[in-house]
Chains A and B, each alone.
Chain A
Amino acid sequence: MSEGAMSTEKVAGVDSAAAPLGAPLVEMRNIRIAFGGVHAVEGVTVDLRAGEVVGLVGGNGAGKSTLMRALSGAHPPDGGEILIDGQVASITNPRDAKALGIETIYQTLALADNIDAAGNMFLGRELKTRTGSLDDDAMESATRKVIGRLNPRFKAFKRPVMSLSGGQRQSVAIARAVHFNARILIMDEPTAALGPAETAQVRTLVKQLKDDGIGIFLISHDIHDVFDLSDRISVMLHGKLVGTVRKADVTTDEVLAMIIMGKLPSEVSEKDLAELHR
């Protein structure tokens, strides 16, 4: 592995060239996360601006999801700091993250299978009546509106989500993330469980949210998804950041070289590219 590729100056160099002006919505600086003796994330720095999609790519175990779990409050980092709107934020649990306008669509969807769509959409943020009871009708009404926009064919509002198809379940998870006026959205493999038509819907949604000024971190295995949707791409390998590049400046091959070899485009030789296609 080329140590030079990890140098922060180089990363920062690429970064500042790519980033537009103004304080970033999110800055994750020098984040470290360890499980026992294993360093899942080692000194990673990434940022995100309003109305921007940053693709987060890398092989299995590269640390993408773990890094994002630090931002969503699911797993607080062991080191480094997170800035929201330029202010240092303390995110120790999912409630903190949500209070800051950070919503997450987890790869596992994180749905309670025995509960219906509305129950899942409002999980932890239930609407209440004046007497403090759950206002199931108001929640169902809101859920029908949101999901109806995402997936007009969705009808099973009263059934536990375990009886729904993969695409419908995904609709519920996405609806939950977009309903609460997120400013920052983390999408971890949002199209993994979907068929072609539903994938297209998610892509449209991402573009729409981006136009609304929401900042999106998009984790995906699918390099084409990432190329289609992202403004910038951050590549991770073995828990470290290889670099962040502007999509307009790179080819898919160059990103693949970053993912597989950990080399920045400037370091990739003809021989390396030949190696990639071998």
Chain B
Amino acid sequence: MTEATGTVPESTREQPPRSPRGLLQALNLDTRLLGMVGALAVIWIGFQILSGLTGPKHDIFSGTFLTPVNLYNLAQQSVSVGIMATGMVLIIVSRNIDLSIGSILGLTGYTMAMVQVIWIPKSLGLGFDQPYTWIIALAIGIALGAAIGAFQGFLIAYGKVPAFIVTLGGLLVWRGLVFEEQQGQTISPLDKTFQLLGGSPTASLGDVASWILGILACAGIIYTLIATRRKRRKYGFPVRPTWALGVLMALGCLAILGFVWIMNSYAWPPGLATQYAHDHGITAPPGGLQIATGIAFPVIILIAVTLVMTYITTRRRFGRYVFAIGGNPDAAELGGINVRRTIMLTFVLIGILAAISGAVQSARLQAAVTSLGTQAELDVIAAAVIGGTSFSGGIGTIPGAVLGAVVMQSLRSGMLLLRVDSPIQDIVVGVVLVSAIAFDTYVRGRSAR
């Protein structure tokens, strides 16, 4: 947006620039992503104030949105949509669409439940809760998701059937198969280990491991920034000034450690803590046993998926080709890129991601129901688009889409907190989606000149 001026970014000045614009350019951060973080902050603070005003104390300081328990839940609830949104970015960037992911999620989630509740224990007579059950169920689910994605991707890339049509058909077919598989019964209880994928106070890292993970992540950021800088120096390219590097490191580490701190501030619910104390023969101190929850397992899955997908998108040929195809399909073809194979692979990828989401959602419910993932495609597309993915193709980022998922979930969870009726929630989400894109199109149009 501010790129049009384009004079400062390659500056090697060591003094911090005076204007905020110059500051941003020296930091060389993605301004769109920063804008989203700002929007998210506004939404969070808004809900915090509103929940205080409508709460029992009627003041702006007693809000319940920015509390560890709510943020812990928000993180968990964003996982399923976030995971799939990372794949949707690649689909939309290459000028396609996938309407079937909700149904793929449903079918893979349901099938994974069948594996652990019926096939392994009953059909094969191996019994419940075997140590290998969860991994076999997960592997079968992921393989199924990949196979469905490959089939749809083949029809789209090699059969030249529009993605909208193929995946619209898929939406109906895969959901229909869910009902065929076990007459639409709810399948439970799931394998004990598998349930950990869904996250709960007992399916989280705990405080020590969360801190260790946070510190490792900080070390990772610092190492990456220094290594990148060293390499650019070696080639004699312009680099960020040293102070900007320091600011970036500090901001990154602060964000990570802040997140860990919040997740660790959420203590186990008293009932669960008492039960735990009882089971382990611990005498609860006065005021009850305080056990820090830490980062939930599914949130770790989302973080891992985000890192892997970001790497694939920005550091591998495959990602480069997806963007090239979205930017100019003819140029990609003339560059010798295997366009059809690349397109097909994007659908394989989103099939796998839908299966992972299916595992997380069913594990969280501790059961598979036929409605699993219904309408998930809409939230996922909205998350990707709010996160800066452009429907005209060629533009989008993985972290943006994940942030988009958090924005969507923040709206829903905040309105739930304010006891807004469900139809009104839908209206608000719809309006926000369209306004966000209209605003973005306007800004892009201006900056393109």
Contacts and interface: CB of A to CB of B under 8 A. Distances in A.
Interface string A151-171: 000011011101100000000
B328 A156 contact: no
Interface string B218-249: 00000000000001101101000000000000
Contacts of B331: 109-112, 120, 123
Contact of A111 (B6, B314, B316, B328): B328
A126 B320 CA distance: 9
Given A114-B395, A134-B315, A134-B317, A140 B3 contact: no
B394 A141 contact: no
A270 interface: no
B335 A124 contact: yes
A113 interface: yes
Q: Is the interface of B mostly helix, strand, loop or mixed?
A: helix
A123 B332 contact: yes
B395 A140 contact: no
Given A133-B315, A140-B237, A114 B334 contact: no
A177 B223 CA distance: 37
Contacts of B335: 94, 110, 112, 123-125
Contact of A114 (B9, B232, B323, B337): B323
A106 B331 CA distance: 10
B336 interface: yes
A98 interface: yes
A18 to B, nearest CB: 31
A155 B326 CA distance: 25
Interface in B409-449: 448
Interface residues of B, number: 31
Nearest to A160: B327
A240 B320 CA distance: 40
Nearest to A159: B3
Interface of A: 72, 74, 93-95, 98, 104, 106, 108-115, 119-120, 123-126, 128, 132-134, 137-138, 140-141, 155-156, 158-160, 162-163
19 contacts: A104-B334, A108-B330, A110-B331, A110-B334, A111-B328, A113-B394, A115-B327, A123-B335, A124-B337, A126-B320, A128-B317, A134-B317, A140-B235, A141-B235, A158-B9, A159-B3, A159-B6, A162-B448, A163-B448
